Amino acid sequence: MNKILTISIGNDHAGFGLKFLIIDKLSQLGYKTINHGCDGPNSVDYPDHGHKVALDVLQEKADLGIVICGSGNGINMTVNKHQGIRSALCWNPELASLARSHNNANILALPARFISEKIALKCLDAFLNQKFEGGRHLNRVNKINC
């Protein structure tokens, strides 16, 4: 029997619509979700939500994470401050696939204001369905943490 994966998701006000779309898709696919994001358009600070996702992944409350803000940059920088987090800012499915297969990314960062919902879902699919290749990439990934 396959283990049901848990995905922690966090977002700011720019990403709440995309978050709900992703949570719905994850639910359809049988994933459990932990929602740390805001649920409306009122301005919030993305670090408050990003840190919670990073901690869920590090504390193994979640298998993977997804973070969303307007550009994707701020929330991606936030989660990458945590030792052991490898978050990748992706705006197409090829980047999401490579982030997992070459960099063993454990969080997907999405730029809500710069990608369509269709592309975001393709990035999600690529991220979830790609496995880390290991091999020559393992040594490089092991050098990421300071």
Pair of tokens at residue 85:
């987090």
In degrees rounded to 5, what are phi and psi of residue 74? Answer: -60, -45
- Does residue 19 form part of some domain? yes
Distance (Å) of CA 143 to CA 48, 132, 139:
28, 16, 7
User: Does 102 qualify as catalytic in the annotation?
Assistant: yes
- Does residue 97 form part of some domain? yes
- Does residue 93 form part of some domain? yes
- Does residue 25 form part of some domain? yes
Among residues 13, 82, 102, 137, the one annotated as catalytic is 102
Measured distance CA(12)–CA(39) in Å, rounded = 8
- Does residue 107 form part of some domain? yes
On the CB side of 69, CA atoms within 13 Å amount to 19
pLDDT in tens, the chain (146 residues): 357 799 999 999 999 999 999 999 999 999 999 999 999 999 999 999 999 999 999 999 999 999 999 999 999 999 999 999 999 999 999 999 999 999 999 999 999 999 999 999 999 999 999 999 888 999 999 989 88
What's the pTM? 0.95
pLDDT at position 1 is: 37
- Does residue 76 form part of some domain? yes
pLDDT at position 134 is: 87
- Does residue 1 form part of some domain? no
CATH code of the domain in which 95 resides = 3.40.1400.10
Instruction: Work out how many domains the chain is built from and give that number.
Output: 1
Residue 123 structural domain: 6-142
pLDDT at position 2 is: 53
CA angle 120, 80, 87 (to 5 degrees): 30
